[in-house]
Amino acid sequence: MNIAVIGTGYVGLVAGTCFSESGHDVTCVDVEEAKVAALNRGVLPLYEPGLEELVRRNRDAGRLHFTTDLPLAVGRAAVVFIAVGTPMAESGSADLQYVLAAAEQVGRALRHYTVVVDKSTVPVGTADRVREVIARNTVHDFDVVSNPEFLKEGAALEDFLKPDRVVIGTGSERARRIMGELYAPFVRTENPILFMDTRSAELTKYAANAMLATRISFMNDMAALCERVGADADQVRKGVGADKRIGYAFLHPGIGYGGSCFPKDVRALMSTARDVGLKLDLLRAVEATNARQKKSLLTKALRHYGDLSRHTFAVWGLAFKPRTDDMREAPSVDLIEGLLDAGARVQCHDPVAGEAARRCFADRVSYASTCYDAAEGADGLFLVTEWSEFRHPDLCRLKSLMRRPVIFDGRNVFDPEQARGEGFTYFGVGRG
Residue 336's closest CA among 258, 414, 274, 423? 258
360 belongs to the catalytic site: no
Q: Check whether 25 is labelled as a binding-site residue.
A: no
Q: Check whether 119 is labelled as a binding-site residue.
A: no
Whether 119 and 15 have beta carbons less than 8 Å apart is answered as yes
Note the residue count of the chain: 432
Q: Check whether 35 is labelled as a binding-site residue.
A: yes
Q: Check whether 152 is labelled as a binding-site residue.
A: yes
Q: Check whether 151 is labelled as a binding-site residue.
A: yes
Q: Check whether 381 is labelled as a binding-site residue.
A: no
Q: Check whether 30 is labelled as a binding-site residue.
A: yes
Alpha-carbon distance of 319 to 412, in angstroms, equals 17
Q: Check whether 252 is labelled as a binding-site residue.
A: yes
Q: Check whether 86 is labelled as a binding-site residue.
A: yes
Q: Indicate the residue type of 281.
A: D
The tally of CA atoms less than 13 A away on the side-chain side of residue 10 is 22
Q: Check whether 251 is labelled as a binding-site residue.
A: yes
Q: Check whether 8 is labelled as a binding-site residue.
A: no
Alpha-carbon distance of 162 to 148, in angstroms, equals 15
Looking at 230-261, list the stretches that DSSP marks H as alpha helix, in order from N- to C-terminal side: 233-241
| C-alpha 424, offset from chain centre | 33
Q: Check whether 205 is labelled as a binding-site residue.
A: yes
294-315 as b/e, with b when 16 or more CB fall inside 10 Å? bbbbbebbeeebeebeebbbbb
Alpha-carbon distance of 432 to 427, in angstroms, equals 9
Residue of 261, 348, 360, 371 with catalytic role: 261
The tally of CA atoms less than 13 A away on the side-chain side of residue 220 is 26
Question: Which residues does the annotation place in the binding site for NAD(+)?
Answer: 30, 35, 86, 121, 153, 264, 328
Question: Which residues does the annotation place in the binding site?
Answer: 30, 35, 86, 121, 150-153, 205, 250-254, 258, 264, 321, 328
Active-site residue list: 261
Question: Which residues does the annotation place in the binding site for substrate?
Answer: 150-153, 205, 250-254, 258, 321
